[in-house]
A and B are shown apart, each in its own frame.
Chain A
Amino acid sequence: MTTKDAKLTKKDFTSDREVRWCPGCGDYAILATVQTLLADLEARPEKTVFVSGIGCSSRFPYYMDTYGFHSIHGRAPTLATGLAIARPDLDIWIVTGDGDGLSIGGNHLMHILRRNVNVNILLFNNEIYGLTKGQYSPTSPMGSVHKSTPMGSLDRPINPVSLALGAEATYVARSIDTDRKHLSEVLRGAYEHHGSSFVEIYQNCNIFNDGAFAAVREPGQRDQNQIRLTAGEPITFGPEGERAVVAEADGSMRIVPTEEAGDRVVVHDPTRPEPTTAFALSRLAPSPTGPTPIGVFRSVDRPVYDDELRQQVEAAREQHGEGDLVELLESGNVWDVL
């Protein structure tokens, strides 16, 4: 049991349940980062709720010593929306995956983002169905050879960041499971953002899809390929900053040697009201096998659905007074029988 005065530690956010992800799974790193971060943020366990769907990532709530709800496949955003409307005092986190959030639950993801419900969404992207033992997912590259696609997958993968930006999500970021510092920063931003925060986390499934994110995750490659987005900074990358992102006349973006870029280098501004530039950035890397932006793509303020819904309730009370049941039942035509 926690008390309000004590300084909390990671332990206060760690449940007594044995963690049962496969040894070596990227989920362990994310769990540890989240537990530590919440303590650092001085979040309250009793005010924190983790809601998940189905999949490996969706076991996450069981390992947090907070309130939690392990719901059904794809539907975590729906439960979280109802809870957010009912309870403005809570910090609500959704943990989902590429299958849960983008396939069976893609519809709900779009709607929670467009509404800008006050929740933080962590989408663990491992480009594979892990819990059902290795079928391709909506983020798997075309031609992926897995159990259900022995001749290669045919469907074009979706880019989760592009999708979120297309739904005009107000906070959109990407990070990597094992990059604790970067992930913490991005999640801190999500926590502090009022409205829907969407964070795609590249998460390695070492059993069914090992090395999917090697280009941006492994030492030796990541320095070449991580395009770290920093607000207010020109977007350059590489060990010596030797490559740069420039905008083309058609609105798309392109990578060029920094020395050729001159003053055309895009200066990152996640607060631009229109998601267009952020979207163009997200298209730089259709899949994370080469140079890939990580960090905060977009962070803007927009009215929050659940706030506005509650404001309508208050406005109705101001207009009509607190509801009176007798008055309601007698509204319209009444007559008395003696």
Chain B
Amino acid sequence: MSDSSTTERERIQLSSAVVRFAGDSGDGMQLTGDRFTTQTALAGNDLATLPDFPAEIRAPAGTLAGVSSFQLHFSDQDIHTPGDAPDVLIAMNPAALQKHLSALKPGGIVIVNTDAFTDRNLQKAGYDESPLHDGTMTDYQLHEVPITDLTLRALERHITEGQLNKKEAERCKNMLALGLVSWMYSRPITETEDWLETKFSAKPQIADANVTALRAGWNYGDTTEAFAFTYEVKPAQLSPGRYRNITGNQAMAYGLVAASVRSGLPLFYGSYPITPASDILHELAKLKHFGVATYQAEDEIAAIGSVIGAAFGGNLAVTASSGPGIALKTEAMGLAMITELPLVVIDVQRGGPSTGLPTKTEQSDLFQVLFGRNGEAPLPVVAASSPADCFDAAIEAARIALTYRTPVVLLSDGYLANSAEPWRLPAIDDLPALSEDFSFTTEPNLPDGGFAPYLRDEETLARPWALPGTPGLEHRLGGIEKETETGHISYDPANHHAQTEMRYARLERIGQQLPPLEVVDPSGEAEVLVIGWGSTEGPMQAACHDLRVRGRKVAQVHLRHLSPLHPDLAEMLRSYRVVVCPENNMGQLAMLLRARTLVDVKTYDRVTGQPFGSTELAEVIEHLGWGEQA
């Protein structure tokens, strides 16, 4: 589809736009959103996405429970969030409209598939009568488009020639919708055409039908008078470099592979499928040519057990799960801690407790990973803060694990896992040279030629990593308390206390060797500090930006390391008049900061399964930071 076919119509320049596709689980909204995202990335915009789908694979068709949505925020500016309120809502059925209309900006554009507004569907969505003409839509720009019918008409030839049946033809309606929205935002669709042809290369008639529907959608916008304007968002001025789009889970997988390459260790990934972590396994299973061994274990415990075995054998060993699975891995994490083996345990957090909200995001596993083990079992915990940041966070987790010989917990969440953003590709040579952070012990370390598996490195307090197969260094590890240096079983009271202190000392050593904390405070005079961790970084950045535009002097710090906390953190917090800590939990980091620093951290907690909006946070920070002064 070339631009030359577009009839003249006023093209409105926008700085940014938020588009939300919503429909039934079976309507292909995630795929539609993914395609629109790719087209938008190729148009050079900065972007952020928010997929939101039900836990049920196919909830009853047409119901509110079955609504799946995908939101995309794109801009000619540097952006940090998938956007608060959409400018445009594409509602493929009444349930999608019912569920998402209230999120739309006043005056926003709504495109509905009128063919889906049957009595039965209206009833399922809880509408007594059609909302299209009862005044519900007064405040919005409503476009009624018979998307299903248009799709069937476009594919009439395909149906009559027997290339596909009516039901198969109807399934192409998401491509018609995509074509229409692509036309609205002046997004070329050639890339999606190529993608469809590759994806359905084994079924060329399906590829052709989808491409036909996509073009029909574009042409509908172009030739009907229904749409008075098209919109354009110019490319963003991003830092120079080569970019691609990436989701958090994909970046996590790539980060682990990069850590393997940079450490020279084969990657062993043992895990048990769980939402929203499974995609890391799927990604890595495709990357065996990097020497990656992926092992789908029989359960969560077997997954971490296999990883401990692989770490003992000298691999870069990683497991991932979500909260419920981490709970099952707890005992084994303690074993890995006391045996001081390097491994990475990824927790892609989801709504809890128990099974909770499997497809929704939350930050409520912080205490679980910090404290959820029997005995004194301190572990380093690091957190990723954006989809692309999962790449760097994975490398950092591997670095700590290998350098200090300890399991490391790496926190992500459902939002990071599934959301996408443009990622400026790093130069491989600039990535940390992990191979310099450790070495395998191959020689005895005692004057008498013996080997003490817990004789520590003075600088890192790490114990030797001697692999099975090394002659003369035969030793036994286990979960029973160890004697200092020799690692023999010891029930000696003083030894147990000393070993416990040593394990904390080793953790603190990690903190002492971290680079300085990075505080963002353009004014250099801020009295209000916003602190957070994980996926709230984007909304917090955007909120702070808005506040600064309004003249507020606000500083922001976002923690990569939750354990140990940076040794300078307490002093830093004390230097601000107000410290605000917004979290998608009930105040877990805030409680930790209060306990560790005695600073009266103000909290803002919300667990709705959705990320914070930036407007919401700006109001909160304004209120907590300056409200009482005003």
Complex interface: chain B residues within 8 A of A309 (CB) = 293, 295
Known contacts A70-B477, A70-B479; A82 and B306 CB within 8 A of each other:
yes
* A77 to B306 Cα, complex, angstroms: 8
Known contacts A309-B293, A333-B245; A46 and B468 CB within 8 A of each other:
yes
Please state if B477 and A69 are interface contacts (CB–CB under 8 Å): yes
Residue in contact with A69 in the complex, picked from B244, B312, B314, CB distance below 8 Å: B312
Q: Which residue of B lies closest to A84 (CB)?
A: B309
Known contacts A70-B479, A325-B261, A335-B41; A330 and B471 CB within 8 A of each other:
no
Known contacts A46-B469, A71-B305, A82-B309; A328 and B335 CB within 8 A of each other:
no
- Decide yes or no whether A142 CB sits under 8 A from chain B: no
* A24 to B53 Cα, complex, angstroms: 62
- Decide yes or no whether B258 CB sits under 8 A from chain A: yes
Complex interface: chain A residues within 8 A of B298 (CB) = 107-108, 110-111
- Which of A87, A313, A328, A337 has most chain B Cβ within 10 Å? A337
Known contacts A328-B254, A338-B240; A82 and B305 CB within 8 A of each other:
yes
A265-310 residues at the B interface, CB under 8 angstroms? 309-310
Please state if A332 and B244 are interface contacts (CB–CB under 8 Å): yes
* A90 to B288 Cα, complex, angstroms: 22
Known contacts A46-B468, A51-B309, A79-B309; A68 and B293 CB within 8 A of each other:
no
* A179 to B539 Cα, complex, angstroms: 71
* A69 to B310 Cα, complex, angstroms: 12
Chain A 1-35: CB-based contact to B (< 8 A → 1; otherwise 0): 11110000000000101000000000000000000
Task: Using C-beta atoms within 8 Å of the partner chain, give the interface range for chain A.
Answer: 35 or more
- Which of B266, B315, B471 has most chain A Cβ within 10 Å? B471
Complex interface: chain A residues within 8 A of B38 (CB) = 333
Known contacts A1-B449, A75-B301; A80 and B309 CB within 8 A of each other:
yes
- Decide yes or no whether A141 CB sits under 8 A from chain B: no
* A313 to B289 Cα, complex, angstroms: 6
* A320 to B287 Cα, complex, angstroms: 9
- Shortest CB–CB separation between residue A209 and chain B, in angstroms? 24
Chain B 440-467: CB-based contact to A (< 8 A → 1; otherwise 0): 0000100001000000000000000001
Please state if B478 and A83 are interface contacts (CB–CB under 8 Å): no
Q: Which residue of B lies closest to A4 (CB)?
A: B471
Please state if B287 and A336 are interface contacts (CB–CB under 8 Å): no
- Shortest CB–CB separation between residue B133 and chain A, in angstroms? 42
Complex interface: chain B residues within 8 A of A317 (CB) = 288-289, 291
Q: Which residue of A lies closest to B266 (CB)?
A: A86
- Decide yes or no whether B472 CB sits under 8 A from chain A: yes
Complex interface: chain B residues within 8 A of A45 (CB) = 471, 474
- Shortest CB–CB separation between residue A191 and chain B, in angstroms? 17
- Shortest CB–CB separation between residue A308 and chain B, in angstroms? 11
- Shortest CB–CB separation between residue A338 and chain B, in angstroms? 6
Known contacts A46-B470, A111-B302, A323-B257; A330 and B289 CB within 8 A of each other:
no
Q: Which residue of A lies closest to B468 (CB)?
A: A67
Known contacts A82-B317, A334-B244; A319 and B289 CB within 8 A of each other:
yes
Q: Interface stretch among A58-66, A168-176, A236-244?
A: A58-66
Return 25 A-B CB contacts under 8 Å, by A number. A17-B488, A49-B468, A67-B468, A68-B476, A70-B476, A70-B479, A75-B302, A77-B302, A78-B303, A79-B312, A82-B306, A82-B307, A84-B309, A87-B313, A87-B467, A89-B469, A317-B288, A317-B291, A326-B428, A328-B287, A328-B290, A329-B244, A334-B243, A337-B238, A338-B240
Please state if B309 and A61 are interface contacts (CB–CB under 8 Å): no
- Decide yes or no whether A316 CB sits under 8 A from chain B: yes
Please state if A62 and B478 are interface contacts (CB–CB under 8 Å): yes
- Decide yes or no whether B331 CB sits under 8 A from chain A: yes
- Decide yes or no whether B517 CB sits under 8 A from chain A: no
- Decide yes or no whether A322 CB sits under 8 A from chain B: yes
Question: Main SS of the interface on chain B?
Answer: mixed
- Decide yes or no whether B168 CB sits under 8 A from chain A: no
Residue in contact with B472 in the complex, picked from A1, A17, A69, A330, CB distance below 8 Å: A1
Please state if B480 and A70 are interface contacts (CB–CB under 8 Å): yes
B21-42 residues at the A interface, CB under 8 angstroms? 38, 41-42
A63-114 residues at the B interface, CB under 8 angstroms? 64-72, 75, 77-87, 89-90, 107-108, 110-111
Complex interface: chain A residues within 8 A of B470 (CB) = 46
* A51 to B474 Cα, complex, angstroms: 13
Complex interface: chain B residues within 8 A of A72 (CB) = 331-332, 335, 479
- Decide yes or no whether A133 CB sits under 8 A from chain B: no
Across the A-B interface, the 4 shortest Cβ-Cβ residue pairs:
A78-B305, A82-B309, A70-B478, A323-B290
Residue in contact with B242 in the complex, picked from A17, A107, A321, A334, CB distance below 8 Å: A334
Please state if A2 and B472 are interface contacts (CB–CB under 8 Å): yes
Complex interface: chain A residues within 8 A of B191 (CB) = 333
Known contacts A78-B305, A313-B288; A65 and B468 CB within 8 A of each other:
no
Complex interface: chain B residues within 8 A of A44 (CB) = 471
B483-509 residues at the A interface, CB under 8 angstroms? 488-489
- Decide yes or no whether B241 CB sits under 8 A from chain A: yes
- Shortest CB–CB separation between residue A290 and chain B, in angstroms? 35
- Decide yes or no whether A312 CB sits under 8 A from chain B: yes
B358-405 residues at the A interface, CB under 8 angstroms? none
- Decide yes or no whether B475 CB sits under 8 A from chain A: yes
* A108 to B309 Cα, complex, angstroms: 14
- Shortest CB–CB separation between residue A96 and chain B, in angstroms? 13
* A81 to B311 Cα, complex, angstroms: 12
B3-59 residues at the A interface, CB under 8 angstroms? 38, 41-42, 44
B247-296 residues at the A interface, CB under 8 angstroms? 254, 257-258, 261, 266, 268, 270, 287-293, 295
Please state if B245 and A332 are interface contacts (CB–CB under 8 Å): yes
Complex interface: chain B residues within 8 A of A71 (CB) = 305, 308, 335, 478-479
Complex interface: chain A residues within 8 A of B292 (CB) = 313, 323
Residue in contact with A337 in the complex, picked from B241, B307, B475, CB distance below 8 Å: B241
Chain A 127-165: CB-based contact to B (< 8 A → 1; otherwise 0): 000000000000000000000000000000000000000
